[in-house]
Chains A and B, each alone.
Chain A
Amino acid sequence: MSTPPALKDWPLWEVFVRSKQGLEHKHCGSLHASDAEHALQMARDVYTRRQEGVSIWVVPSHLIAASDPEDKDTLFDPASDKIYRHPTFYEIPDEVGHM
Chain B
Amino acid sequence: MYTQAMDTMAKEGKGAPRAVAALSAEDAQRQARFDERIDADGRIEPRDWMPEAYRKTLVRQISQHAHSEIVGMLPEGNWISRAPSLKRKAILLAKVQDEGGHGLYLYSAAETLGTSRAQMLDDLHSGKAKYSSIFNYPTLTWADVGVIGWLVDGAAIMNQVPICRCSYGPYARAMVRVCKEESFHQRQGYEGLMVLMKGTQAQRDMVQDAVNRWWWKCLAMFGPPDADSPNSAQGMRWGIKRFTNDELRQKFVDATVPQARLLGVTLPDPDLKWNEARGHHDYGAIDWSEFWQVVNGHGPCNRERLAARVKAHDDGAWVREAAAAHAAKHTPVEAKAA
Give residues in A with beta carbon < 8 Å to B: 1, 3-12, 29-32, 34-35, 38, 46, 49, 60, 62-63, 66, 68-69, 71, 75-76, 83-91
Contacts and interface: CB of A to CB of B under 8 A. Distances in A.
Given A4-B317, A85-B46, A88-B115, A29 B26 contact: no
Interface stretch (B9-17, B262-270, B281-289, B318-326): B318-326
A10 B324 contact: yes
Contacts of A8: 116, 118
Contact size range, B? 35 or more
B323 A10 contact: yes
Contacts of B323: 10, 34-35, 38
A63 B338 CA distance: 8
B104 A71 contact: no
B116 A29 contact: no
Given A31-B104, A75-B30, A90-B338, A83 B116 contact: no
Contacts of B39: none
A17 B101 CA distance: 16
B293 interface: no
B275 to A, nearest CB: 42
B26 A75 contact: yes
B271 interface: no
B108 A69 contact: no
Given A1-B122, A4-B317, A89-B116, A9 B33 contact: no
21 contacts: A1-B122, A3-B118, A3-B122, A4-B118, A4-B313, A6-B324, A34-B320, A34-B326, A46-B104, A60-B335, A71-B33, A75-B26, A75-B29, A75-B30, A76-B49, A83-B47, A84-B112, A84-B113, A84-B114, A85-B48, A88-B116
A83 B46 contact: yes
A85 B114 contact: yes
B81 interface: no
A79 to B, nearest CB: 10
Interface string B171-192: 0001000000000000000000
Given A62-B337, A89-B111, A69 B45 contact: yes
Given A9-B328, A60-B335, 17 more contacts: A1-B122, A3-B119, A4-B121, A6-B320, A7-B117, A10-B324, A29-B105, A30-B108, A30-B111, A62-B337, A66-B47, A69-B48, A76-B49, A85-B48, A86-B46, A86-B114, A87-B114
Interface of B: 26, 29-30, 33, 45-49, 55, 97, 101, 104-105, 108-109, 111-119, 121-122, 126, 170, 174, 313, 317, 320-321, 323-324, 326-328, 330-331, 335-338
Which 10 interchain pairs have the tightest Cβ spacing?
A: A86-B114, A34-B323, A9-B324, A6-B320, A29-B108, A88-B114, A7-B118, A30-B108, A35-B327, A34-B327
A29 B45 CA distance: 13
A66 B323 CA distance: 29
Contacts of A62: 337-338
B337 A60 contact: yes
Contacts of B335: 60, 63
B121 to A, nearest CB: 7
B47 A85 contact: yes
A75 B203 CA distance: 66
Nearest to B181: A50
Nearest to B113: A86
